[in-house]
């Protein structure tokens, strides 16, 4: 039986996952980020594990506790916990068509 989610993602124009991250995080995947071609490690956070309030850099609105979202960080040697950003799932999906509203420091 064919995997239907592969075809659905391709039709929806969603970015394709290139490979799993090698940062010791089995649930992370690599995707193109909001900046020109830079690769990011990305992980989905289910609502049951979202315990804090974060600010989404895509829309500059809060992500409240209990809201499923995405966490992304640059996939490079210098990247670490300080560079993780929490995005609304929709904002991360639409990152190619919008610019970042908050300045990453």
pLDDT digits (tens, 9 = 90+) for 35-48: 777 888 899 999 99
Q: Tell me if residue 83 falls in helix, strand or coil.
A: helix
- Per mean pLDDT, which of 2-11, 36-45, 49-58, 78-87 is the most reliable? 49-58
Is 90 a residue whose pLDDT tops 80? yes
Q: What token pair was written down for 59?
A: 């829309």
* Residue that the structure tokens 């895509």 belong to: 58
Cα–Cα–Cα angle for 103, 44, 81, nearest 5°?
50
Cα–Cα–Cα angle for 46, 1, 70, nearest 5°?
15
Instruction: Give the integer Cα–Cα distance in Å for 8 and 70.
Output: 20
Q: How confident is the model at residue 72 (pLDDT cuts 50, 70, 90)?
A: very high
Specify the pLDDT at position 35.
73
- Helix H or strand E encompassing 5: helix 4-11
Q: How many residues does the chain have?
A: 105
Mean pLDDT lowest for which of 2-6, 55-59, 62-66?
A: 2-6
Instruction: Give the integer Cα–Cα distance in Å for 44 and 32.
Output: 15
Name the more confident of 100 and 76: 76
Name the more confident of 20 and 32: 32
């Amino acid at each position: 039986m064919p995997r239907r989610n592969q075809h659905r993602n391709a039709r929806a124009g969603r970015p394709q996952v290139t490979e799993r991250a090698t940062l010791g995080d089995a649930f992370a995947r690599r995707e193109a980020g909001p900046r020109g071609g830079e690769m990011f490690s990305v992980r989905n956070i289910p609502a049951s594990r979202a315990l804090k309030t974060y600010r989404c850099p895509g829309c500059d609105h809060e992500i409240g506790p209990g809201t499923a979202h995405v966490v992304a960080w640059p996939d490079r040697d210098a990247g670490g916990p300080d560079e993780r950003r929490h995005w609304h799932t929709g904002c991360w999906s639409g990152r190619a068509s919008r610019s970042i509203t908050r300045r990453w420091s």
